[in-house]
Amino acid sequence: MRTKRRLALLASLVGLMSIGAAQSLFGQEARLQGRIPDPTRGEIDAILVAARNAGIPTEPLVDRALEGASKGADGALILRAVRRLDGELRLSWDALGSVSTEAEIVAGASALRAGAQPDDLAELRSVRGDQPLTVATAVLADLVAVGVPVDTAVAAVLTLAEGVDDAEYIAFRQNVERDIALGASPVSALGVRLDMAAEALNQSADRSPSQRPRKP
């Protein structure tokens, strides 16, 4: 009899733990409790559930909410920021495809916020093929951040897409930033570095004429 009672108690505890885990996973985000006002937190929890069900990364959404809370933003402002990021992540996911990694989707969302269009991300995916897009999309956003016009930054990233790897993308961005710091205009700095990259790639013996980057 005592053994049966213990087993029953154990089953009850396991059931309660399972329910709590399910609520944590599919309902309330524990990290928002006490940080976000209740009405707003409920709406953000709903956004998180919908995003999770759609395969959209939720960690950036939680981070955005907590960032707003740490800055003392009110609930309405935090909710607006989370909704905006959720929309950008969804557009990025749609443009890059369901095979995209979480890092790619997040980087794509940053590029969209910088001014790129979903079609730009889709074209980048098409040109890069199976190569990761995290660095390429991040470089696009970084170029815009230092003053390069969006259309010019997009054209440059796409121009280099077939011929450079991630390390070369990073070096390209660093060189552009260095030239700007030395006094060159963002457009001039990008143009000069793009010409240099094109020349270097054109000298590669194993590169066909159709793969050679062209200046936008």
Name the pLDDT band for 202 (thresholds 50, 70, 90): confident
Specify the length of the chain in residues.
216
pLDDT tens, residue by residue, 59-118: 999 999 999 999 999 999 999 999 999 999 999 999 998 889 999 999 999 999 999 999
Statement: residue 209 has pLDDT above 60: no
Q: What is the pLDDT of residues 21-33, one digit of tens each?
A: 444 444 578 888 8
pLDDT for 186 equals 96
Torsion over CA: 80, 86, 89, 95 (sign)? negative
What number is the average pLDDT over the span 166-185? 96
Is residue 145's pLDDT more than 60?
yes
Helix (H, G, I), strand (E, B) or coil at 197: helix
137 vs 163, higher pLDDT: 137
Exposed, middle or buried: residue 48 (CB in 10 Å: 0-12, 13-18, 19+)? buried
pTM confidence score = 0.76
CA distance 163 to 151: 20
Which residue is associated with the tokens 């000298």?
A: 203
The residue that leads in pLDDT, 95 or 215, is: 95
